Amino acid sequence: MATYPAAGLPATDGLAKELWDNVQHEVFMSLHDPFVQGMAQGTLDKRAFQHYVAQDAYFLHYFARAYGIALSKALALDEQTFEDLTGLLRGVHEELQLHGSYAAKWGVDMTVAGTRPSAATKAYTDFLMDVADAGGQDGSVAEILAAMLPCARLYGFLGAALAGAHGPQAPDQAPPCHDYWEWVKTYSSQEYLSVPGLKERMFERLAGKGADKAKLLALYRRAMQLEAEFFAAQPYSPPPRRFSALVVDFDETCTARDTIGGLMRLAAAAAGQPGRATAGDAAWVSATSARLADAYVAAQGELLGRLLPEGAPDATCYDAAGLEALLAALSDFDAAMNGPVEECGILRGSTAAEVAAAGAGLQLRPQCREVLAGALGRGIPVHVLSVNWSDVYVGAALSAAAGSSSSSSSGSSSGALPVRLAGEGEAAAAAAAAAGPAAVELLCNSLQLDGSGLTTGALTKRVQSARDKRAALAELRARLPAASTAAAAADGSTDSGSSSNPAALVYVGDSTSDLGAMLDSDFGVVIGSNALLRRVCRRFGVRILPLAAAPLDPRRVPAGTLYEAVGGWAEIRAFLFGVERPGEAAAAVGGSAAVAAVGTAVGTAAVGTGGGSASLPRVLSIAGSDSGGGAGIQADIKAILSRGGFAMTALTALTAQNTHGVSAVHPVPPDFLRRQIDAVLGDLGADAVKTGMLPNAECVAVVAEAVRQYRGAGHALPLVVDPVLVSTSGHALAEGGAAAALLRQLIPLASLVTPNLPEAQALLGGEQIVDVEGMRRAAQQLQAMTGCAAVLVKGGHLRPPPPPPQPTANSNGHDGAAGSGILDPVAESVDVLYDGSTLHEFRGPWIHTANTHGTGCTLASAIAAELAKGLPLLPAVAAARAALLEALRASAPLALGSGVQRPFHHLHMLPVLAPAPAPAAASAAAAAATAGVSIAPPAAPGAGSGAGSGALGRVDLGLLTRQLRLYAVTDPHCNQKAGRSLLEAVTAAVRGGATILQIREKDIDGGDFFTEAAAALKVCRAYGVPLIINDRVDVALAVGAEGVHVGQSDLPAAVVRAMIGPSRILGVSVKTPEQAAAARAAGADYLGAGAVLPTGTKDTDVIGLGGLEAVAAAAAPLPIVAIGGVSAANAGDCVNAGCAGIAVVSAIFAQADAEGAARSLLAAVDEALATKQKR
């Protein structure tokens, strides 16, 4: 059985080992990072290692500082601790000397002064300094060690694991001969491995029995996450692996044990019910089950005795022919053994509902569900091939809502996993494939039903053996390209010049029935400890290596080689998805929230500022240069800036143009375009990308590949594609193949495509668009043809007739000021948005002006900036469109240039110069109307609106739902009566188990509020609890709180969302379903609903449990909390009404023992949630 060397693991069974075991996902993210794997495999770009050496040396200087601070705090401790810390500090000095040798060899400036830290490096060093400085001279040395241990232990683990995976596999084998193997040798050496061991023993001694495990774990986890982000931040790393499909077995792969026994127990239960036509009573079922099992074991033993005789030598190389014969014999055997089961009728007499209920109670392996859901979310098709007797049984186990069957020891962020049963015929399969990977496709046997809906005991056989699984896999591989032609082209896999690895098919299995399919896959991954599988592999020369030995390029997998997921599904997750952002990681593994908001993923623009962070929404514009400054990348920069974003650029072409038109175009070489994109994304990162002029198919391919790779690394990246093909003057801005490349490669990746009428006509083959109805058809056709998320067809070319003469100010009061454009009282400007299910029409008055050059570029860039802030698509389009119309109106008198293509002034798009936002609407429809949007009925029956779903936001609803279980809301009057300060109240609540905390202070000055909130934030961060500020957006942003909560009479939710950006939580108080729908459309992340019962803290209307249930239904998929009169006694009623948790004030803060009250409330909520999940 493949393992990772014990030398790299914690030697103790104490707290250090417990912390290590709790962060395995973060550990495996580093192990499977392309930079780390590129070092071990010797394929790393020299520039990546040069950058790493300089960054690591910079980090080590701060690491040494942290040791120095720990030493100063250890003066009051025992002499052994002081000596150990002194030795560790000396070790850092020696490690810096090692880096000095690297620097000399690789030509690196290793001085701190000469190194500009990347965002990931800065985030890590800021975190270390914050922890080291915490508490002043009386701060905890154990906490400093908890933040420093992950670095030492991880490097030891990586060194040992990589040496075992990529080093000599036999005594006579030479070690790898490449420049980076020295790094592996250093960190796998006994000399180095003694360092983390020493540190862990000291940590155990200092932490003691009274340690705050939750805080230490939060520090440890954060440091391990920052380690993974540090590796992922190295530029010029190898491209990440890409995957065409994930195929998995079910029994003992998704589950920890075989589940056939559950169907047998179901048969026994059916036999005990009157009126069921079963083959016998419960005693007969028990005896028959035992007889069938004994017969199977005996027959299999006899067969294996012939196929694998004792004493026969194991193969010294891969024996494909011998293995083929064995799998054929085992396949015949497995198919034959289903016969006695059918003949005896033991599976007769159960209903489909009973079978599904039994399946829903099955336990999946930890993180299995998260991996399947994560693959679907990333567009990777997921297929389950199972020899189980019942697809209903297996499907129910997979699709059960997260937590309903203890599917993972850590919970799930995925909710119910959608499952689609296969086997309905080729046409259905092709249609399902064309629809995309929206659900897990299950291919399995079925229990046949009679006319009364009871199982007959007969099977519909689809997958019975290794042979059937291999055939199903071959069929799947054959139809994968046809299933996603647009996606395959868009990610660059059809381009011969693509620098990325080919997309790989991964099969995860555990037994001999999976063996052939695993070997037929690009990566065959073994999970579990099946002894027969290993016996067969040894006999026929199949090697099982640790998963860390898998090459980055699937074409380099040696024949007859499988890879074992030693770390289970947690390791498979890291292998597939790479480094995930803190919110995503915590959501999936149920870990504590980050201790300090200093850095997130690769390239974050956040910079640590004393425990908080400052950032800007980052937009990368990939477009051509307009020398006249009105359109192109110049317009993009001005639009992004005006909407509060940070603009970054990658030039695709230089143009010579002015207000008379384009006179020349000089495309940028595709390789240089890619270098620009990599330079930006590898350091600064991006929150959205906007593309404009792409002059040729090669540039389209470069952009598509870059977007796919950035998303493949775990980054959510909205993409706005403005398909610029022809200039306003009629000059072709793209070569002939560019339009086809856009349709095939880039548009399928888009969050939004923004063609004007000529561009839409060109993309759709020339069909003329002459009215709004034609715009609607074009939007729907383009979305259906490409599979992009949404299409905005702009109606600016549907010009109305000239307006009537304008009266003067003296005749009717119109001011006629130079700053005003002419607003046509009759004609409208209309843009049509189709999001895949619903048509939305944006209407407003037509502005008669000649200054329209660059409007298309500007609108697309402004939308990208709003998406980068975290706005959902519909509000983002509305906000950008409103800003553009105001700029056109205000710029009407402007006269720049002597031609007809005159620009407008982007200064008028600044929010401070735009008209004040309209009051918050009372419903989603009213809010849409206020923004100039009318929602048309869907063209197809049953289509629902995707507006306001928040799908492009950054808050993870799975994680947030768990954090809302116990929502503590502070109250100054309660605290005053209890004789405690706000900080004391907050500390008691989070110690007692409050999972999220809101500070509500209505009668306090801003400066005092800031001071108290900053102190509370430190406490909340120490316990991994998000802090929400009630009403005061300014205070929330100033202290760096996790979010803001507003009521119906506070700032409108859409305005607050635009102010706080995508990464902060937005909560809204509601009482009615209409208010819930409006809040969801405005970008809320959760809702507070109530009052449920009368309360003494606030005069409010009571909505009761019925009203609570109605709000929950209208809010979906947003989580809600019940507030007002809620207690432990009625927490269960609130949960059953659809709440994720309860929000309480006096139930905690009016109690003498606030900590104990919080603890009791959380227990009540968790019990209610567990009871609900079991139903």
Radius of gyration for the chain, computed over Cα atoms and rounded to the nearest angstrom:
31
Lowest mean pLDDT among 174-183, 317-326, 466-475, 793-802: 793-802
> How high is the pLDDT of residue 1070?
95
Which of 229-238, 545-554, 1015-1024, 1101-1110 is most confident? Answer: 545-554
Q: What is the CB-side half-sphere exposure of residue 680 using CA atoms within 13 A?
A: 24
Which of 56-60, 238-242, 334-338 is most confident? Answer: 334-338
Q: And the tokens for 922?
A: 């009372």
Give the residue with greater pLDDT, 610 vs 233.
233
The three-class DSSP label of residue 543 is strand
Q: Does residue 913 register a pLDDT over 50?
A: no
The three-class DSSP label of residue 202 is helix
The three-class DSSP label of residue 998 is strand
In the block, tokens 């914050």 appear at 130
In the 8-state DSSP scheme, what is residue 1051? S
Question: Are the CB atoms for 1173 and 401 separated by under 8 Å?
Answer: yes
Question: Are the CB atoms for 279 and 346 separated by under 8 Å?
Answer: yes
CB proximity list for 618: less than 8 A, separation 6 or greater: 605, 645, 646, 648, 684, 685, 686, 687, 688, 868
| Integer CA distances (angstroms), 1121 to 150, 958, 1087, 1126, 1135, in order | 36, 14, 6, 10, 9
Q: Does residue 1115 register a pLDDT over 80?
A: yes
User: Helical H runs in 923-981?
Assistant: 924-930, 957-963, 972-978
Q: Does residue 245 register a pLDDT over 60?
A: yes
Full strand arrangement of the beta sheet holding 348-351: 348-351, 454-460, 446-449
User: Helical H runs in 787-829?
Assistant: 809-812
Q: What is the mean pLDDT of the chain?
A: 81
DSSP calls for 364-426: BPTTHHHHHHHHHHTT--EEEE---S-HHHHHHHHHSPTTTT---TT--SS-SPPEEE--S-H
CA distance 997 to 1006: 19
> How high is the pLDDT of residue 890?
77
Handedness of CA 790, 491, 580, 13 (dihedral sign): positive
CA distance 106 to 954: 39
Give the residue with greater pLDDT, 218 vs 798.
218
Task: Give me the amino acid identity at 218.
Answer: A
Which of 114-118, 327-331, 941-945 is most confident? Answer: 327-331
Q: And the tokens for 318?
A: 């891969």
> How high is the pLDDT of residue 414?
43
Give the residue with greater pLDDT, 1063 vs 1053.
1053
Q: And the tokens for 803?
A: 């307006």
CA distance 620 to 781: 28
Question: Are the CB atoms for 1144 and 1131 separated by under 8 Å?
Answer: no
Q: And the tokens for 224?
A: 């391990």
Q: How confident is the model at residue 848 (pLDDT cuts 50, 70, 90)?
A: confident
Q: Does residue 490 register a pLDDT over 50?
A: no
Q: Does residue 463 register a pLDDT over 80?
A: yes
- CA 1054 from centre of chain: 24
Task: Give me the residues paired with residue 525 across strands.
Answer: 508, 563
pLDDT (tens digit per residue) in 387-426: 999 999 999 899 875 444 333 333 333 456 788 876 444 4
> How high is the pLDDT of residue 922?
30
CA distance 894 to 886: 14
Q: Please state whether beta strands 719-721 and 612-614 pair in parallel, antiparallel, or not at all (unpaired).
A: unpaired
Question: Are the CB atoms for 229 and 682 separated by under 8 Å?
Answer: no
304-313 contacts, C-beta under 8 A, 24 or more apart: 304/532, 308/535, 308/536, 308/539, 312/539
pLDDT (tens digit per residue) in 11-42: 777 899 999 999 999 999 999 999 999 999 99
pLDDT (tens digit per residue) in 518-530: 999 999 999 999 9
- What's the whole-number mean pLDDT along residues 303-323? 93
- What's the whole-number mean pLDDT along residues 1016-1032? 87
In the 8-state DSSP scheme, what is residue 241? P
In the block, tokens 């779903």 appear at 949
User: Helical H runs in 167-212?
Assistant: 181-188, 190-207
> How high is the pLDDT of residue 209?
63
Q: Does residue 505 register a pLDDT over 90?
A: yes
Handedness of CA 1058, 1060, 1061, 1067 (dihedral sign): negative
Question: Are the CB atoms for 1079 and 1052 separated by under 8 Å?
Answer: no
> How high is the pLDDT of residue 482?
37
CA distance 1023 to 968: 14
pLDDT (tens digit per residue) in 633-662: 999 999 999 888 899 999 999 989 888 888
Q: And the tokens for 566?
A: 């030693």
CA distance 59 to 295: 63
pLDDT (tens digit per residue) in 92-107: 777 767 667 766 776 7
pLDDT (tens digit per residue) in 700-729: 989 998 998 888 777 778 999 999 876 554
Lowest mean pLDDT among 660-674, 811-825, 852-866, 1111-1125: 811-825
CA proximity to 945, closest of 1067, 793, 774, 1081 = 1081
Q: Could you tell me the domains of the chain? A: 15-233 (1.20.910.10), 239-402+416-423+437-481+502-581 (3.40.50.1000), 618-795+851-879 (3.40.1190.20), 957-1173 (3.20.20.70)
Residues of the chain with pLDDT > 90, as a percent, come to: 41
Question: Are the CB atoms for 176 and 122 separated by under 8 Å?
Answer: no
Q: And the tokens for 131?
A: 């922890």
Lowest mean pLDDT among 234-243, 339-348, 416-425, 483-492: 483-492
CA proximity to 1001, closest of 1019, 977, 1020, 1028 = 1028
Task: Give me the amino acid identity at 1110.
Answer: A
Q: How confident is the model at residue 856 (pLDDT cuts 50, 70, 90)?
A: confident
Lowest mean pLDDT among 413-427, 549-563, 986-1000: 413-427
Q: And the tokens for 376?
A: 């679907």
> How high is the pLDDT of residue 329?
96
Bond prior to 801 in cis (omega within 30° of 0): no
Task: Mark residue 1070 as left, alpha or beta (left: phi above 0; alpha: psi -120 to 50; beta: remaining).
Answer: beta
Q: And the tokens for 915?
A: 């008209």
CB proximity list for 339: less than 8 A, separation 6 or greater: none
Question: Are the CB atoms for 8 and 156 separated by under 8 Å?
Answer: yes
Lowest mean pLDDT among 438-452, 573-587, 1144-1158: 573-587
| Residues present in the chain in total | 1175
- What's the whole-number mean pLDDT along residues 925-950? 31
- What's the whole-number mean pLDDT along residues 174-178? 89
State the catalytic residues.
794, 852, 854-857
In the block, tokens 């952002």 appear at 581
Q: What angle do CA 434, 708, 398 make, to 5 degrees?
A: 50
Q: Does residue 1000 register a pLDDT over 90?
A: yes
Q: How confident is the model at residue 544 (pLDDT cuts 50, 70, 90)?
A: very high
Q: Does residue 859 register a pLDDT over 80?
A: yes
Question: Are the CB atoms for 217 and 145 separated by under 8 Å?
Answer: no
What are the two backbone dihedrals, phi and then psi, of residue 166, each rounded to the nearest 5 degrees? Answer: -110, -5
> How high is the pLDDT of residue 221?
93
The three-class DSSP label of residue 445 is coil
- What's the whole-number mean pLDDT along residues 1031-1050? 91
The dihedral over CA atoms of 46, 51, 54, 57, expressed in degrees to the nearest 10, equals: -100
CA distance 900 to 729: 9
Q: How confident is the model at residue 945 (pLDDT cuts 50, 70, 90)?
A: very low
> How high is the pLDDT of residue 99?
64
Q: Does residue 1100 register a pLDDT over 70?
A: no
Q: And the tokens for 560?
A: 């007859």
Q: And the tokens for 996?
A: 């999220």
Question: Are the CB atoms for 932 and 841 separated by under 8 Å?
Answer: no
User: Helical H runs in 170-259?
Assistant: 181-188, 190-207, 213-232
In the 8-state DSSP scheme, what is residue 107? T
Give the residue with greater pLDDT, 796 vs 600.
796
CA distance 872 to 1083: 6
CA distance 606 to 685: 11
Lowest mean pLDDT among 45-59, 251-265, 602-616, 717-731: 602-616
> How high is the pLDDT of residue 614?
46
CA distance 1148 to 1097: 13
- What's the whole-number mean pLDDT along residues 332-344? 94
Full strand arrangement of the beta sheet holding 243-248: 419-421, 440-443, 382-385, 243-248, 504-509, 523-526, 561-564, 543-546
